[in-house]
């Protein structure tokens, strides 16, 4: 290994992407000062010059010139005769500067220094990655899928840093392949045994908040503020918004003309149904808005038990509860009270519970739902009451589609049973 190869072996620091030059120079100097101390015992008379542009370094040994018989410490002093072999016009009292070749340290010492440098650089990079992402918690990141495992997905950002998207932080309908680009929010950053772990999430409420901030300029500008978000990822979300400008309708601004602003967010969240709710400090009014599209007749609030009893017409119960109870669950979380639903007509039986077809929008194509509504079938049981032949005859749906729709509707009532 010649001198040039040794320099090349230490020049890798030029490629380190997360470490600034002053820090890298300091690390490199520290490594070689340790090397000098092991060989000479004293490092005060050595200068290390790091050239970050070329990626090389030079070590210079400074000594004072004394008479040949006056040399007490060869590390700090050099005899006149020896000094004049370096430059023939040297005189006593002057200083010499000799370049120390890396080869003089020996191959074993050089390799040990290289390993030390690599370790120090690795620690610095980890620290820089940790600090970088600690400041990005709550922000959306785009990263490429590198490896798909059973419990998590490993992603790489544009600098090659590893990010993790656990299964519990993925939307149920998420399916990613290697090489795909994934958008998620930085949920938390952990340091385990000196190694940073960046955890991403697509189910956290902050992900939806940031998506809305990107799509709705009024939120980005602070004219509209998001007060609360509750989600059943991939199924339904309720977002409470408030406007600081009386001229701005916060709900309309978030939805956009013909849903233009909300549609992109819905697609990103795998068709998650998003309800935008206007903020109010009136608890009764907030409960009514949270349970929409159901219409409430009356309600009783028990502040002590943190429960709310809601009374509705029988045909509104299914709307309030929602598919798999998602609507009422989210409404309860939104207002901070347990909500109990009661029918106004006590004679109504449980068998009469029905579900609005719109609640199946994530499993049945919207145009198919529209076809069924055209013939007066706007609930699950109204569809199941008709035979397959009659549904085929009265709609533009194929028999295979009818069979599939029936399976979806029937499975819902089996789940409830």
Q: Is 51 in the same domain as 107? A: yes
Q: Is 126 in the same domain as 63? A: yes
Q: Indicate whether 118 belongs to any domain.
A: yes
Q: Indicate whether 346 belongs to any domain.
A: no
Q: Indicate whether 82 belongs to any domain.
A: yes
Point out the domain boundary residue: 147, 181, 203.
203
**Mean pLDDT estimate for the chain:** 85
Q: Indicate whether 326 belongs to any domain.
A: no
Q: Is 183 in the same domain as 240? A: no
- The DSSP code sequence of 191-220 is EETTEEEEEEESSSHHHHHHHHHHH-HHHH
Q: Is 380 in the same domain as 273? A: no
Is the pLDDT reported for residue 235 higher than 70? yes
Count of the separate structural domains present in the chain = 4
pLDDT tens digits for range 281-314: 999 999 999 998 888 999 999 999 999 999 998 8
pLDDT tens digits for range 166-176: 999 999 889 99
Q: Are 381 and 403 in contact (CB under 8 A)?
A: no
Point out the domain boundary residue: 253, 279, 305.
279
CA dist 209 and 262 (Å) reads 12
CA dist 85 and 344 (Å) reads 110
Looking at 41-157, list the stretches that DSSP marks H as alpha helix, in order from N- to C-terminal side.
80-86, 107-134
**pLDDT, average across residues 397-410:** 90
**pLDDT, average across residues 116-141:** 85
pLDDT recorded at residue 53: 61
Q: Is 127 in the same domain as 143? A: no
Q: Is 178 in the same domain as 240? A: no
CA dist 268 and 183 (Å) reads 9
Q: Is 7 in the same domain as 97? A: yes
Q: Is 42 in the same domain as 79? A: yes
Positive or negative, the CA dihedral 401, 404, 409, 412 is negative
Q: Is 71 in the same domain as 180? A: no
What is the CATH number for 117?
A: 3.30.1480
Q: Is 124 in the same domain as 72? A: yes
Q: Is 115 in the same domain as 19? A: yes
Q: Indicate whether 286 belongs to any domain.
A: no
Q: Indicate whether 319 belongs to any domain.
A: no
CA dist 221 and 253 (Å) reads 13
Q: Indicate whether 100 belongs to any domain.
A: yes
Q: Is 160 in the same domain as 219? A: no
Is the pLDDT reported for residue 20 higher than 70? no
Is the pLDDT reported for residue 2 higher than 50? no
Is the pLDDT reported for residue 349 higher than 50? no
Q: Indicate whether 284 belongs to any domain.
A: no
Q: Are 24 and 125 in contact (CB under 8 A)?
A: no
pLDDT recorded at residue 54: 58
Could you give phi then psi for residue 345, rounded to 5 degrees? Answer: -95, 105
Point out the domain boundary residue: 203, 220, 236.
203
pLDDT recorded at residue 348: 45
Counts of helices then strands in the chain (DSSP H, E): 15, 15
What is the CATH number for 253?
A: 3.30.300.20
CA dist 135 and 73 (Å) reads 52
pTM beyond cutoff 0.85: no
- For 275, the domain range is 212-279
Q: What angle do CA 239, 243, 244 make, to 5 degrees?
A: 145
């Amino acid at each position: 290994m010649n001198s040039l190869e040794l320099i090349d072996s230490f020049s890798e620091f030029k490629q380190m992407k997360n470490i600034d030059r002053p820090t890298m120079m300091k690390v490199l100097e520290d490594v070689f000062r340790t090397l000098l101390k092991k060989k000479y015992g004293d490092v005060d008379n050595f200068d290390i010059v790091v050239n970050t542009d070329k990626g090389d370094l030079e070590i210079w040994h400074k000594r004072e010139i004394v008479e040949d018989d006056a040399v007490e410490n060869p590390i700090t002093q050099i005899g006149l005769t020896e000094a004049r072999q370096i430059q023939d016009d040297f005189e006593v009292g002057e200083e010499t500067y000799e370049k120390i070749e890396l080869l003089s340290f020996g191959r074993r010492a050089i390799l040990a220094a290289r390993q030390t440098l690599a370790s120090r650089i690795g620690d610095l990079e980890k620290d820089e990655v940790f600090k970088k992402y600690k400041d990005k918690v709550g922000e959306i990141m785009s990263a490429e899928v590198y490896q798909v495992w059973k419990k998590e997905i490993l992603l790489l950002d544009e600098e090659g840093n590893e990010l993790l998207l656990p299964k519990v932080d993925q939307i149920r309908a998420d399916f990613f392949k290697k090489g795909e680009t994934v958008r998620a929010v930085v949920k938390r950053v952990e340091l385990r045994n000196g190694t940073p772990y960046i955890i991403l999430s697509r189910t956290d409420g902050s992900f939806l908040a940031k998506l809305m901030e990107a799509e709705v300029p009024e939120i980005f500008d602070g004219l509209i503020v998001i007060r609360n978000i509750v989600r059943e990822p991939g199924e339904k979300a309720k977002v409470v918004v408030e406007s600081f400008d009386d001229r701005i309708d916060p709900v309309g601004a978030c939805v956009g003309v013909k849903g233009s602003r909300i549609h992109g967010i819905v697609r990103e969240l795998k068709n998650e149904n998003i309800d935008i709710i206007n903020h109010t400090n009136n608890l009764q009014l907030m409960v009514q808005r949270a349970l929409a599209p159901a219409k409430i007749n009356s309600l009783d609030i028990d502040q002590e038990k943190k429960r709310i009893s809601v009374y509705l017409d029988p045909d509104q119960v299914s709307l309030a509860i929602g598919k798999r109870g998602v609507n009422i669950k989210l409404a309860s979380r939104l207002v901070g009270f347990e909500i109990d639903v009661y029918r106004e007509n006590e004679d109504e039986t449980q068998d009469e519970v029905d579900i609005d077809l719109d609640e199946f929008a994530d499993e049945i194509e919207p145009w198919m739902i529209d076809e069924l509504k055209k013939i007066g079938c706007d609930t699950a049981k109204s569809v199941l009451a008709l035979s397959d032949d009659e549904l085929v005859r009265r709609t533009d749906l194929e028999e295979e589609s009818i069979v599939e729709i029936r399976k979806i509707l029937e499975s819902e009532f089996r789940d409830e049973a």
